[in-house]
Every structure is written in C-alpha cells, then in structure tokens.
Amino acid sequence: MIQYYKILGVSSRASLTEIKKAYKEQVKKWHPDRFPHADESAQKKAHDLFSSITEAYQKLVDLHTNRQQGFYEEDRFSGFQRPFNPDFGRTTQPPPPGVRAETDIPGYFIQTFNNGDRYEGQFHNDMMHGMGHYVRANGDVYTGQFRFNKAHGNGKMTFANGDTYTGEFVEDAMCGRGTYIYANGDRYVGRFQADMPHGEGVLISDGKAYGGQWEFGQLRAEGSM
C-alpha cells in the first residue's frame, strides 16, 4: 500500500483531499494525450505512468472509503492517536544557537524550542540523534530512540489524553511491532504501519479479542475470541 502513496508523491498520512489534489496534478503531467508527437518510448512511459497513477488513486480512495465504512464504524480506532503531526520534522529543525544547554550527563543536552516543545537527549550534527526525551507543548511525551530529528527505533509515546504506545517507530510513525493502550483500558497488540494496525495483531476491547490480519486499521480476517 505504501507504494501507492509514493506513486502520487504524497505522505502515507495524506488526507483524501490531498490525495485527490496530487492525482489531478500527476494526471495533468503524464496524460498520454500530452505526448502525441513523442517517440514510442516516451509514449509508452507516459502510458505506463498514467496507468500506475490511476491505479494508485483508485486504491487509496478505496482505502479511505473502507476506513469510514468498515471496522471504524464500531469506533474501535476513531480516537487513535498519531505520535507526531506531519510538520514535526520541520518544527524540529535545529533552531538558532543559544537555546541549548548541557546537562550533567556527558553527551546529553537540553533543547527548548520556540513552540514550547522541549527535548533532552543526544545530538549529532545539530540533530536529535540517539536516546532522548521529547515533551510537546500539548502534553504528549516521547521517550526513546531518535534518528536525524525523528523518532526512529524503539520508544514509548504517552499522549496527553492518556493513551500510550510502546514499540517500534520509523520516521516519527508507529511502524513495526508495538502495543497501543487506550486510556479506557482497551488495547491493540501487534504490527503497525504508517501509524495504523497493519499485519498480524489483536484488539482487546470490552472483554473481547478481535484477532487476525489487519490492513491499515481494518480487520480483514475478522473474528472474535
């Protein structure tokens, strides 16, 4: 599924509106009718890309439609939190010097950001890199591994609403194996991709377990245990 986002040139967190906008731009650029006098290889490239773009758009529209009409109707993941907003990478670019202080631990520093966020941990080439503790102004807290200014590796995210996620991260997103615990005690244990249950996992809610194969937040091989 990730390849479809790449084809359209959008983030895996893109909204349906953003997907539609990207689709229109790509279609306008690669529609075969724009290459009537091009050589055969150029026409074939345009045709192949146009087909891939159309397929990617249809797949992503179906995905968003299924999210709204499928398992989400039971409100299982309607409150699902995402670790960092799409602008996190940009808001954590190294700020002007003078706002970083050393700690008593060698190699660890405290960085205060203009938006009220605070980071305490390791740096490499003026980027958060290694182990660290990040507190967002909204109350979210992440403790774990960073790689080039992004949560990457193993860590724990505690959200301001009481939800927690413990597990693997890839570039600020929950990705890999992990456990998401809701403030009300419900929990999902299994695999994630792009901040959503994806792969083998089980959701425990109201004393029942819903296990099987998940596809971007939807339980495909449904079954309660």
- The answer to whether the CB of 103 falls within 8 A of the CB of 120 is yes
Is beta strand 196-205 parallel, antiparallel or unpaired with respect to 187-193? antiparallel
pLDDT number for residue 187: 93
Asked if the structure places residue 224 within a domain, the reply is no
- What values do phi and psi take at 182, rounded to 5? -80, 155
Q: What is the pLDDT along the chain (225 residues), one digit of tens a residue?
A: 567 888 888 877 678 888 999 998 988 888 888 877 778 888 888 888 888 899 888 888 887 776 554 444 344 554 556 677 544 443 344 444 346 777 777 778 999 988 889 999 999 888 899 999 999 999 999 999 999 999 999 999 999 989 999 999 998 999 999 999 998 899 999 999 888 898 999 999 888 898 999 887 878 765 544
**Same domain (yes/no): 161, 85:** yes
pLDDT number for residue 2: 63
Q: Write out the residue range of the structural domain in which residue 92 sits.
A: 74-219
Q: Which residues contact 133 (CB under 8 A, 6 or more apart)?
A: 119, 120, 121, 141, 142, 143
- The answer to whether the CB of 134 falls within 8 A of the CB of 141 is yes
Asked if the structure places residue 143 within a domain, the reply is yes
pLDDT number for residue 72: 40
Cα distance between the two ends of the chain: 28
Asked if the structure places residue 61 within a domain, the reply is yes
pLDDT number for residue 153: 96
User: Rounded to an integer, what distance in angstroms lies between the CA atom of residue 80 and that of residue 159?
Assistant: 10
- Domain-terminating residue out of 50, 69, 88: 69
pLDDT number for residue 207: 86
**Same domain (yes/no): 14, 78:** no
Asked if the structure places residue 171 within a domain, the reply is yes
